[in-house]
Chains A and B, each alone.
Chain A
Amino acid sequence: MAIWDYANPTRFLRLVEIILPWLIAACAAAFAVGLYKSFFMAPEDYQQGDTVRIMFIHVPAAWLAMMCYSIMAISSLGTLVWKHPLADVSAKAAAPIGAALTFTCLVTGALWGKPMWGTYWVWDARLTSVLVLFIMYLGLMALWRTMEDPIKAGKAAAILTLVGALNLPIIKFSVDWWNTLHQPASVIRLDGPTIHPDMLVPLLVMALAFTLLFFVLHLMAMRNEVLRRRVRAMRMRAASVAAPATARATAQPAE
């Protein structure tokens, strides 16, 4: 595999080895502080009671799910424009994490919705947008899985990711529009600017912890993907021993 002959991924792997322990430690610390604060320091909501603590998972997951898509869109630009060999590894590694984050967001949203709205699912504009994002993550993962050649799959997925990035604001806008049309009753804004500092601090700490967690998982997944591609390249080389990879050329006149 040509691009893996370059030193770049090797250097990347070495860098990951150095960064990862620190990142894991920081992530664990942030979660320790964040979880402690959100469970023991943050006050109960006068209306929602303890249920409000779900928000400390739900909101960061939603934020991170959107950040994850932005990272994938930037990586896709990297694949198509700069042709960086690690860009499509990054995009591919981010998709399952994004799917997991949207899934977390949907599940916690449903669990919060049952006591609050009396139902697990409401076709609220935000929940619907997250659901669409979830489907798009799964579709991208399916595209990656169905295509045999990782380079080709990377390019195809990059195009789709960018089209999706163009389309997501339109989807968000149209879902909002659709939502106001069908149910004018507004949903309580929890992450608005009116939030009390006692709640805001744990929320921000948790957001930091989730961000760190995302990068830990993303780097690990990227490392796995690099190694997986090396295994693939080795297997292909092993298969083509009879007909090795390079051709030699000789040209002479035929007379």
Chain B
Amino acid sequence: MDRGGRRVFAGLTFSVSAGTALIVTGPNGVGKSSLLRTLAGLVAPAEGDLNLEGASQPDMAVHEHAHYFGHQDALKPALTALENLTFWQSFSAPAPSPGFKSAVMKPVQALEFLGIGHTARLPAAYLSAGQRRRLSLARLLITPRPLWLMDEPTSALDTASEARLLDLMNNHLSGGGIIIAATHSPLNLSTIVRLHLETAPEPMAPLSQERDA
């Protein structure tokens, strides 16, 4: 796949099965975020394709089954926390698939669950960075989508919130979901496959490994 006229990576093949987290690691600038953005359908790959097996609606693209949890919070400071969340709930199409069960929460429940229930009626502008992060995370709980794409999910979270996030991620996995996360810090998750991206000494040498967990 290409980024800004530069081939970021080539010949990358992997598969992740239900209930598994794929942890993408590697040095800065190697293309972890680009990989996630490609999976999210935001960047078109130069060649190759993405497949989701066992989806109930095969005509839906992979990214329509995915939540993208990136660096930006996608919150409107003028709207209250609840309004932000309710909008994403009704706007994002749910993507139910067999073999994936998740406890879908109501927006208020999700806020309570993440410990920011008291901010529901406050405009998002008044929230701290950690609170904004958690509000953004709540988005993943209210619309059921089996695939979570997470770019540095633990940034700007304190230890307690991080533990809660890991609980959530483990719940998601045990419900049959898939997580693909790019991170520097180790994540304590139940079933993990690692994908380590590193710069190749020989440019354009495709090296790939396939692994089913």
Contacts and interface: CB of A to CB of B under 8 A. Distances in A.
Interface of A: 1-2, 148-151, 232-233, 236-237, 240, 243-254
Interface in B1-56: 2, 4-14, 23, 26-27, 29-31, 46
Interface in B156-213: 192-211, 213
A243 B199 contact: yes
Interface string B45-77: 010000000000000000000000000000000
Nearest to A1: B5
Given A233-B5, A247-B9, A248-B197, 7 more contacts: A1-B2, A236-B4, A236-B6, A246-B199, A246-B204, A251-B195, A252-B211
B198 A247 contact: yes
Nearest to B30: A247
Contacts of B213: 253
16 contacts: A2-B2, A2-B7, A232-B5, A236-B4, A243-B29, A245-B6, A245-B8, A247-B8, A247-B26, A247-B199, A249-B13, A249-B197, A249-B208, A250-B207, A252-B193, A253-B192
B4 A244 contact: no
Contact of A250 (B5, B6, B23, B196): B196
Contacts of A1: 2, 5-7
A250 B193 contact: no
Nearest to A255: B192
Given A247-B31, A251-B14, A149 B5 contact: yes
A254 B194 contact: yes
B193 A253 contact: yes
Contacts of A150: 5
A240 B4 CA distance: 12
B53 to A, nearest CB: 18
A89 to B, nearest CB: 13
B200 A247 contact: yes
Contacts of B192: 253-254
Contact of B209 (A2, A233, A247, A250): A250
B184 to A, nearest CB: 16
Chain B, interface SS category: loop
A1 B202 CA distance: 16
Nearest to B16: A251
A70 B203 CA distance: 40
B46 A2 contact: yes
- From B5, B6, B197, B211, residue with most partner A Cβ within 10 Å: B5
Given A2-B7, A232-B5, A236-B5, A248 B207 contact: yes
A252 B30 CA distance: 19
A131 to B, nearest CB: 35
A159 to B, nearest CB: 15
- From A148, A150, A236, A246, residue with most partner B Cβ within 10 Å: A246
Question: Would you list the 6 A-B pairs with minimal beta carbon distance, nearest first?
Answer: A247-B9, A254-B192, A247-B197, A248-B200, A248-B207, A251-B211
B207 to A, nearest CB: 4
A232 B4 CA distance: 11
Nearest to A152: B4
A251 B200 CA distance: 15
B8 to A, nearest CB: 7
Interface string B108-125: 000000000000000000
Contacts of A151: 5
Given A2-B2, A2-B7, A2-B46, A248 B198 contact: yes
B17 to A, nearest CB: 12
Nearest to B194: A254
A250 B29 CA distance: 17
Contacts of A236: 4-6
A188 to B, nearest CB: 52
Contacts of B209: 249-251
Interface in B102-160: none
A240 B194 CA distance: 25
Contacts of B197: 247-249
B99 to A, nearest CB: 21
Contacts of A245: 6-8, 203-204
B189 to A, nearest CB: 9
A111 B192 CA distance: 76
A2 B48 CA distance: 14
